[in-house]
Chains A and B, each alone.
Chain A
Amino acid sequence: MNDRQPKIAIRGLTKSFGLKAVLKGIDLDIAVGESLVVIGGSGTGKSVLIKCILGLMTPDSGSIKIDGEETVGLNGGERERIMAKFGMLFQGSALFDSLPVWENVGFGLIAGDGKPRREAKEVALRKLAAVGLGPDVAELHPAELSGGMQKRVALARAIAREPEIIFFDEPTTGLDPIMSDVINDLIRKCVGELGATALSITHDMASARRIAHRIAMIYGGRIIWQGPVAAIDSSGNDHVDQFIHGRAEGPIKMPVRPL
């Protein structure tokens, strides 16, 4: 693989639901080992973007290349081969509630990689320890854990197969500020140790500043600004300024009905 070739290269990505165009031509590159955070308001298409990259949704047009390989339209075994490169932390954790914690973490190793259960359990316990959870948690079921613990288990699951690319969908949503910081630290540590390429989507600016090398803002179905995290405060873009300062007044209008 060419060193300068992006890990993920997206060109002209569009996706509509009925008459509503959510993505109107996304162009985005993510370099190897880079942590990119995509920010944007609710309903701007951040989750749709991630789902298109993961093959959970089929884009209407455009190209998504992983390590230079076109992935749009891949199915079956080809898709599963590409998916082995990915880890994903879902917004609601998406833990399998019928399985104990350790089996959730080791799921990809058992079902995806065909590892024996005992071996997968050893890996799962190590990954749980890496996110600060002891072996006593391993036999519990997800419903018995707090929201923060569930997020940590989901993070352990996302890194269990030591993926080359990790996606984080709203990793701190619904957590208190301290637990959010714990999760941000764990994300930085895990991504750093694995040397993985990371794509996160969030509206939590504190989180974005902590975990990003680079930030891109999505608005109106397009990437309207991207740059290093240090440049976000001097972006010169009114939309970005309004968003990062959380102002109601500005070019981004929320459809709010009067009382």
Chain B
Amino acid sequence: MAFLQAIGHTFLNGVETLGRLILFALDGLLAIVRPPYYPRLILKQMIEIGYYSLPVVGLTAVFTGMVLALQSFTGFARFSAESAIPQVVVVSLTRELGPVLAGLMVAGRIGAAMAAEIGTMRVTDQIDALSTLSTNPMRYLVAPRLLAATATLPFLVLIADIIGIFGGYIVSIYKLGFNPGIYIHNTLSFLEPLDVISGLVKAAVFGFMIALMGCYHGFHSRGGAQGVGGATTNAVVSASILILISNYIVTELFFAR
């Protein structure tokens, strides 16, 4: 009986949390479209999310592209299909690895920072102070972050795609002995706009998820430093899981036959 009670309790808690999250997301979306707008804060967040994430995302992309070329070569060499490496690198990066790895790296960097900042504001009454100063915290804190993350991540992923493809190119040319002209030609001729577009749509979805989780967990943190620490962990873990789930859903929407 106690076991069933525990299952029921966990289930109800899960449904309650999901409901609260959906309401928070709707509230956040409404806050984006309703004035007042805070362009200065949106720009600040875009710089924080985009510009300052470039080094970590760039490093991830270049090494991923390099490893992808190397692994593909060792695998494809078994059935003499080495010439497919440019195509494999470009499609894997633009469709999957670029957006997913950039999303996960940004979830770690930005999702955690958002949860920690907003969580600290919550436990030190700064969010209540915003309300007493006639400022809606959803519009001031949440809307700029949701908007900036959704708009910036596609640009970040586009740059990650280019850097990743370049990583694959470097390994293919200087280590595996490919002809540079043929490699670039094969890369470009095989690449389709939908490959890139699907990756950028994924990036926008991931950006929204990362900011949503960061803001939601920060907003609902309680109990001082420990609460903020828990909110930070929850933000990163839940954003990462949502990235992987929504990655499948968007892939299904774009490419399922």
Whole-angstrom CA separation of A111 from B130 in the bound complex: 9
A225 within 8 A of B: no
Report the minimum CB–CB distance from B221 to chain A (whole Å).
15
Q: CB-CB < 8 A to A55: which residues of B?
A: 131
Say yes or no: B125 contacts A107, CB within 8 Å.
no
Asked whether B134 lies within 8 Å of A94 as measured between CB atoms, the reply is no
Residue A108 is within 8 A (CB to CB) of chain B in the complex: yes
What mask results when residues 35 to 54 of chain B are scored 1 for a CB within 8 Å of chain A, else 0?
Answer: 01010000000000000000
> 1/0 contact trace for A86-111 toward B, CB 8 Å?
11101110111110000000011001
Q: What is the bound-complex CA distance between A36 and B202, given in angstroms?
A: 56
Q: Give the one of B117, B128, B136 with max A CB within 10 A.
A: B128
Residue of A nearest to B38 (CB): A111
A80, A90, A95, A111 interface centre (most CB from chain B within 10 Å) = A111
Interface residue from B117, B125, B135, B140 paired with A94 (Cβ < 8 Å): B125
A11 to chain B, nearest CB (A): 23
Distance in Å: Cβ of A56 to nearest Cβ of chain B: 5
CB–CB A56/B131 < 8 A: yes
A111 touches B140 (CB 8 A): yes
The answer to the question of A54 belonging to the interface, with a C-beta cut-off of 8 Å to chain B, is yes
State the CA gap A76–B27 with chains docked (Å).
12
**CB of B124 within 8 Å of the partner chain:** yes
Cβ contacts B90-131/A at 8 Å (1 or 0 each): 000000000000000000000000000100110011101101
Encoded as 1 (CB less than 8 Å from any B CB) or 0, chain A from 50 to 86 comes to: 0100111000000000000000000010001001101
Q: Contact between B124 and A83 (Cβ–Cβ < 8 Å)?
A: no
B135–A112 contact, CB under 8 A? yes
CB distance from B13 to the nearest CB of A (A): 15
Smallest distance from the beta carbon of A26 to chain B beta carbons, Å?
Answer: 20
Which residue, of A54, A76, A88, has the highest number of chain B Cβ atoms within 10 A? A88
Closest residue on chain B to residue A91 by CB atoms: B125
Interface residues on A, range: 20 to 34
- Is the beta-carbon distance between B131 and A111 smaller than 8 angstroms? no
A107 to B135, CA, bound (A): 9
* Residues of A with C-beta under 8 A to B126: 94-97
Also in contact, A92 and B128, with CB within 8 A (given A83-B134, A107-B133, A112-B135) = no
The answer to whether B132 touches A83 (Cβ under 8 A) is yes
User: Contact partner of A92 among B38, B117, B125, CB < 8 A?
Assistant: B125
Contact B135 A96 (CB under 8 A): no
Q: Which residue of B lies closest to A163 (CB)?
A: B132
A90 to chain B, nearest CB (A): 5
Bound-state CA distance A91–B135 (Å) is: 20
In Å, the complex CA distance between A113 and B135 comes to 10
Which residues of chain B are near A86, meaning CB under 8 Å? 132
Beyond A80-B136, A111-B140, whether A94 also contacts B129 by CB under 8 A is: yes
Check if B134 sits within 8 Å of A88, measured CB to CB. no
Q: Are A108 and B125 in contact (CB under 8 A)?
A: no
Q: Is the CB of A51 within 8 A of B134?
A: no
Q: Is the CB of A90 within 8 A of B128?
A: yes
**B134 contacts A92, C-beta separation under 8 Å:** no
B164 to chain A, nearest CB (A): 34
Contact of A51 among B128, B135, B140 (CB under 8 A): B128
Known contacts: A94-B125, A94-B126, A96-B126. The answer to whether A88 contacts B132 by CB under 8 A is yes
Q: Contact between A88 and B129 (Cβ–Cβ < 8 Å)?
A: yes
CA of A83 to CA of B134 in the docked complex: distance in angstroms?
6
**Closest chain B CB from A109 CB (angstroms):** 9
Beta-carbon contact of A54 and B131 below 8 Å: yes
User: Whose C-beta in chain B lies nearest to the C-beta of A56?
Assistant: B128
Tell me, in angstroms, the Cα distance from A147 to B254 when the chains sit together: 57
The reply to whether B125 and A80 contact each other, CB–CB distance below 8 Å, is no
Q: Are A108 and B128 in contact (CB under 8 A)?
A: no
When distances are taken between beta carbons in the complex, the residues of chain A under 8 Å from B131 are 54-56, 83
- B121 / chain A contacts, CB cutoff of 8 Å: 96
Q: Which of A141-170 contact B (CB under 8 A)?
A: 157, 161
The residues of A with any CB-CB pair to B shorter than 8 Å are 51, 54-56, 76, 80, 83-84, 86-88, 90-92, 94-98, 107-108, 111-114, 157, 161
Q: Which residues from chain B sit less than 8 Å from chain A, CB to CB?
A: 36, 38, 117, 120-121, 124-126, 128-129, 131-136, 140
Top 9 A-B residue pairs of the complex, sorted by shortest distance between their CB atoms: A112-B134, A108-B133, A94-B125, A94-B129, A88-B132, A111-B135, A80-B134, A90-B125, A83-B134
Other than A56-B132, A114-B36, give 15 A-B pairs with Cβ distance below 8 A. A51-B128, A56-B128, A56-B131, A88-B129, A90-B128, A90-B129, A94-B126, A95-B129, A97-B126, A107-B133, A108-B134, A108-B135, A111-B36, A111-B140, A157-B133
